[in-house]
Structures are given as C-alpha cells and as structure tokens.
C-alpha cells in the first residue's frame, strides 16, 4: 500500500502549544479516546525532570496533555509491556522506531494482537542516556543540568531550553567526535522513520508548528481523516518539495548511521581477548534478558540446571549469552536496552547487533520489519 | 590417529541415523570418536544443545538431517538450515572455529556418505587439535 502524506496540527490551541510540533500526536490520541475507538493509550510521561520518563497507561483524554512534548534523554521502551500487562484491551501506542520494531517482532511471535492495536510512530534521530546527558550539558553547554526544561534534536543539533527561556544548541557531530552525544545504539540505528506503524509523525520536511505525517496503512489513513472530520486536527497538503526534503534528510541520516555501524561492529569491534575480559565481569543478574523486548519465554533455558555447572561466577558465556544469541539475535532490533541495564558495562548489544547483521546479509531478514517469520518458525518454502 | 578427539553427532531418526545404521551393517569403517545422539528431526535441535556439547568438552559437533524435501515432518530440515547458518557465525563470537561444526544431509541409504563425512570431519578436527576455547572463565 502506498503511503500518503499530510501536514497536520492540533485544532485546540492549548494542545497545539504543548506539543513539539503542533501537538498532532496528542490530539490524535484524544480523538481515539474520546470516541472510544481505543480503551487505553500507552505512552511515556515526563516524571520530575527531562531525564526521567515513565510509561503511563491513560484512559482519560484530559490526562493526555501531561504527556505532550519530546523526551530524548530517557530511552524508555514500551514494547514489552504490552504482552505482559495490557494485551486484552484495545490500545493505542506511541512508539519510536525501536518500540515499533519490538512490537512487530512480538506480533510475529503471537504475543501481541495486531487488530487491537493502533501504532502511532514517531521519527527518531536518537536518544541520550540520562546520566551522560546531564554531564554533557554541564561540560559543553555550561549550564546547570537541573535548569533544563526542554530538549530537542533538530537540524543536526541537540537544542536545550532553560528555565529562563534561553535556548542553546550544540552540533551532534561535535559532541560525538568527543565521545558524547547519542547512545551508541542510536548512533548506528538505521531506522529513523518507523514505517511499520499505522501513521508516522515527525518534523522533517514540515514547517514550524506543523507535523509531517505519513499514513502507512489504511487504518492509519482512516484515523487521520476521521480526526480531521471530527475537528481534532487541521490539515494542509504537502508539497512535492517537502517530501523531497524529508527523503533527503532520511538519506543523509542513514548514510551517517551506516558509517557508525561499520565503526562499531567491524572496525572497532572488540577482539576475542577483549570479550574474554568483558565476560569475566558478568555477575549473572539476568538484567539483559529481563529487559529484552524480544525475549518473552515463560521458562528460560539459561536458568535450567543442566545449563549451569556451578553456582560460581562468572557464568560460562557459551551457555549464557550463547543461548540467548541463538534464540533471538536474528531478531535483535538494536534497542540497546541490554547494554543500558548491564551493571558491569559489558558492551553486550554489539554482539547481538553484529549477529543480526550477519543473519541479515545471509537472508535479508530485517528485524522488526520483514513480514517473514524468524527462523524457528520460518516457512518450508525456501 | 588420536583417540582423544571427541565428536558429537546429532542424527535425525529417519535419515542420518538410518545412514549410520547402513554404514554399520555394511561394515564400513569410520572413526570411533563419534558419539551419535539420535534426535527425531534435525529441526528439533536447539542451538543450546550444541552449545552444551561444546561446553561439556566436545571438540566438534556434527548434525545430520534428511535431504531437502525429504523431511519426515515436511519442513524440519529447512528450519534447521536457517539455524545452522546462523550458528556458524555464533560460535566464532566465542572463539570456536567454524570448522568445528558441520552439518550434512545424509539419507538412510547413504551409508558411504556417512562414512566419508565422519572421516573427513575427524581429519579436520585432528588438524585443529582439541578444543581450546579462547574465551576462558577465570575462576576466582
């Protein structure tokens, strides 16, 4: 199905001011909740500061306003919450590309019911780790990190807004050259526009105060058109030039990310000796497995007695990470959660992404996008 | 010929195990180092089973299944093929050579193929020597 494009923004002036680019996403969610098309909305909300985001489940459209705005300094993922807690309701979920890919992989594993779900995708240029972001704002922006009330990634810059209203921006390239900036996974992530959702919203190619929306599925088209009809959003047509700008931006980003991918996974990939050192740090906390959005088994093989031969640390990487790699690395969506939660700072997501890349080269299976099923379920016709 | 090379062979009940049987009844000689484990289908083999074999001291692991299209359960070997191609990359990440793992399609009548495969695999493993995993765990 071919995509259609529109420029939209919220009709409600309050919502329009609250959101990042005209409050479109918030007003679409309001439309869905008010008309009982969905029971709940799953999104993330600012909790205290810009460095903390918590997933919230909202059933009352008035509460939605508190979730408006972007949060780049809190890489919270929502994909794995759906099968665990809320698979039985009709749901709208706001997802960045890795959430959308996680949901897609879980759908293939029959963990999420596609028909119950409205997926509203957001363009994403990358996220930052909260702790790193704080230090970075102190070092490069020379501000008190607690004064930051808003942040945004636009035109290759990380822009922050302070309490007193001043804005400051530093180029991402300059930051990343010095080892700061976005999370490593986001640097090499090649998917900025999650086209595996129903609609994708973003500011690329849009004028200020408007959101560029790509309606991918028929469901998404109906959603936006009905939203306009019911008076929640207003729309403008998109010029050919704006579409081209968006495509060009995406192309530039993908090329950049590919370079990072080469750097992380081939040129600077840790040697076996280095991995030896990393695996020896492991304290067997199972954090990487618990956070992984793809891992959903109720009974995990790596906890089985026959896979352990001692209670001593560290665990044998072959039957710890090896089994996990064998079970899900082909579906690794490069969200980087495993690395984020690892208390021993093992660069674990690199090995998963590397395996996924190799699998992709052999079979052209793109985790989170391809319709075909992952290996354990793959079809007989090959 | 050294005897301390340990080779674990997972053989599918319908084809490769039959092939081994054929080799046996025809008195074809092959290295005694292989310990055959019968599984119902190559598609049943979980990657963790092979990893466990390496962990317990196998120097090489062989997996035998039916030829493409011959699977008793219609598509088990296709599924295994996918997993196997991934597995070769996986063990390299842990410092185990690709050559220590081999999979082959052997039908129940191909006793000779079973013999040849075992011989050549054993020779390859002999050249590599016993498995010395580069990633070692230091016990405190």
CB pairs A-B closer than 8 Å: 94
Token pair listed for A60: 């009352």
Position B137 scores a pLDDT of 65
Task: List beta partners, residue B63.
Answer: B10, B103
Residue B3 DSSP class: S
How far apart CA A170 and CA B94 sit, in angstroms, is 40
B49 in Cβ contact with B10 (< 8 Å):
yes
Nearest CA in chain A to B69: A380
Which of A206, A249, A244 is closest to A6 using CA atoms?
A: A206
pLDDT-based confidence at residue B135 (cuts at 50, 70, 90): low
State mean pLDDT over B99-110: 94
Torsion sign, CA atoms A222, A223, A228, A234: negative
Token pair listed for B137: 């765990």
Q: Do B134 and A276 touch (CB under 8 A)?
A: yes
Token pair listed for A150: 């808003």
Which of A218, A206, A250 is closest to A9 using CA atoms?
A: A206
Strand order in the sheet with A40-47: A49-58, A40-47, A91-95, A117-122, A199-202, A211-215, A4-10, A233-236
Token pair listed for A260: 């990072």
B80-84 long-range contacts, CB within 8 A, separation 24+:
B80/B41, B80/B42, B80/B43, B80/B45, B81/A382, B82/A363, B82/A375, B82/A378, B83/A326, B83/A375, B83/A376, B83/B45, B83/B47
| Predicted interface score ipTM higher than 0.90 | no
Model confidence pLDDT, tens digit, residues B38-52? 999 999 999 999 999
Which of A77, A40, A44 is closest to A60 using CA atoms?
A: A40
Position A167 scores a pLDDT of 86
Which of the four CATH numbers 3.20.20.140, 3.40.50.960, 3.40.50.1820, 3.40.50.1110 does domain B7-128 have? 3.40.50.960
Q: Do A314 and B137 touch (CB under 8 A)?
A: yes
Position A381 scores a pLDDT of 45
Token pair listed for A214: 């790509």
Low-confidence ranges of chain A (pLDDT < 50): 380-382
Q: Which of B48, B82, B86 sits opposite A323 (nearest CB)?
A: B48
* CA A3 to each of CA A6, A84, A108, A312, B5: distance values in angstroms, whole numbers, following the listed order: 10, 32, 23, 55, 59
Task: List Cβ neighbours of B77 (8 Å cut-off, separation of 6 or more).
Answer: B12, B41, B42, B43, B65, B66, B67, B68, B70, B71, B105
Task: List beta partners, residue B135.
Answer: none
Q: Which of B55, B75, B135 sits opposite A276 (nearest CB)?
A: B135
What does R_g of chain A's alpha carbons equal in angstroms? Answer: 21
> Mutate which of B54, B61, B63, B94 to disrupt the A interface (most A C-beta within 10 Å)?
B94
pLDDT-based confidence at residue B136 (cuts at 50, 70, 90): low
Domain layout of chain A by residue ranges: 4-126+189-260, 128-181, 269-377
How far apart CA B93 and CA B95 sit, in angstroms, is 6
Token pair listed for B102: 């081999």
Nearest CA in chain B to A373: B79
Domain layout of chain B by residue ranges: 7-128
pLDDT tops 60 at residue B60: yes
Query: Is some CB atom of chain A closer than 8 A to the CB atom of B98?
Result: no
Task: List Cβ neighbours of A297 (8 Å cut-off, separation of 6 or more).
Answer: A327
How far apart CA B123 and CA B120 sit, in angstroms, is 5
A234 in Cβ contact with A24 (< 8 Å):
no
Model confidence pLDDT, tens digit, residues A237-260? 888 998 898 899 889 889 888 998
Residue A22: alpha-carbon gap to chain centroid: 21
Helix (H) or strand (E) holding A322: helix A321-328
Fold classification of A4-126+189-260 (topology level): 3.40.640
Model confidence pLDDT, tens digit, residues A179-199? 888 888 999 998 989 999 999
A67 in Cβ contact with A58 (< 8 Å):
yes
* pTM, entire model: 0.90
């Amino acid at each position: 199905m071919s995509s259609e494009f529109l420029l939209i923004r919220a009709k409600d002036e309050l919502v329009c001011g609250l959101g990042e680019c005209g409050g479109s996403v918030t007003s679409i969610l309001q439309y869905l909740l008010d008309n009982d098309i969905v029971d709940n909305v799953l999104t993330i909300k600012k909790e205290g500061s810009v460095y903390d985001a918590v997933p919230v489940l909202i059933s009352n459209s008035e509460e939605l306003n508190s979730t408006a705005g972007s949060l780049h300094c809190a890489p919270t993922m929502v994909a794995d919450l759906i099968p665990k807690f809320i698979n039985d309701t009709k749901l709208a979920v706001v997802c960045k590309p890795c959430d959308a890919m996680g949901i897609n992989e879980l759908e293939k594993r029959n963990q999420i019911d596609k028909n119950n779900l409205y997926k509203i995708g957001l363009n994403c240029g990358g996220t930052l780790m909260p702790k790193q972001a704080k230090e970075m704002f102190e070092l490069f922006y020379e501000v008190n990190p607690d004064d930051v009330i808003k942040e945004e990634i636009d035109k290759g810059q990380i822009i922050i807004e302070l309490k007193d209203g001043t804005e400051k921006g530093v180029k991402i390239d300059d930051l990343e050259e010095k080892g700061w900036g976005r999370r490593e996974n986001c640097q090499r992530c090649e998917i900025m526009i999650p086209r595996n959702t129903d609609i994708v919203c973003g500011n690329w190619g849009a004028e200020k105060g408007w959101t560029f929306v790509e309606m991918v599925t028929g469901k998404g088209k109906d959603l936006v058109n009905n939203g306009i009809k019911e008076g929640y959003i207003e729309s403008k047509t998109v010029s050919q030039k704006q579409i081209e700008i968006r495509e060009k931006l995406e192309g530039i980003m993908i090329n950049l990310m590919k370079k990072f991918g080469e750097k992380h996974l081939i040129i600077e990939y840790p040697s076996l000796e280095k991995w030896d050192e990393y695996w020896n740090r492991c304290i067997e906390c199972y954090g990487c497995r618990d956070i992984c959005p793809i891992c959903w088994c109720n009974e995990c093989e790596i906890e089985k007695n026959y896979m352990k031969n001692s209670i001593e640390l560290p665990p044998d990487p072959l039957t710890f990470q090896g089994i996990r790699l064998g079970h899900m690395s082909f579906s690794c969506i490069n969200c980087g959660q495993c690395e984020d939660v690892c208390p021993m700072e093992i660069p674990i997501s690199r090995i998963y992404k590397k395996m996924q890349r190799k699998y992709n080269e052999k079979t052209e299976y793109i985790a989170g996008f391809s319709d075909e099923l992952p290996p354990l379920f793959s079809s007989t016709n090959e | 010929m050294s005897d301390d090379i340990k080779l674990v062979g997972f053989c599918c009940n319908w084809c490769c195990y039959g092939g081994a049987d054929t080799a046996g009844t025809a008195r074809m000689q092959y290295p005694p180092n292989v310990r055959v484990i019968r599984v119902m289908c190559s598609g049943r083999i979980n990657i963790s089973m092979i990893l466990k074999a390496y962990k317990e001291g196998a120097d090489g692991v062989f997996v035998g299944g039916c030829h493409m299209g011959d699977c008793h359960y219609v598509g088990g070997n296709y599924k295994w093929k996918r997993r196997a191609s991934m597995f070769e990359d996986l063990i390299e990440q842990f410092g185990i050579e690709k050559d220590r793992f081999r999979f082959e399609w052997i039908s129940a009548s191909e006793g000779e193929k079973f013999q040849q495969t075992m011989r050549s695999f054993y020779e390859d493993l002999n050249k590599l020597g016993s498995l010395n995993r580069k990633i070692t765990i230091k016990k405190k």
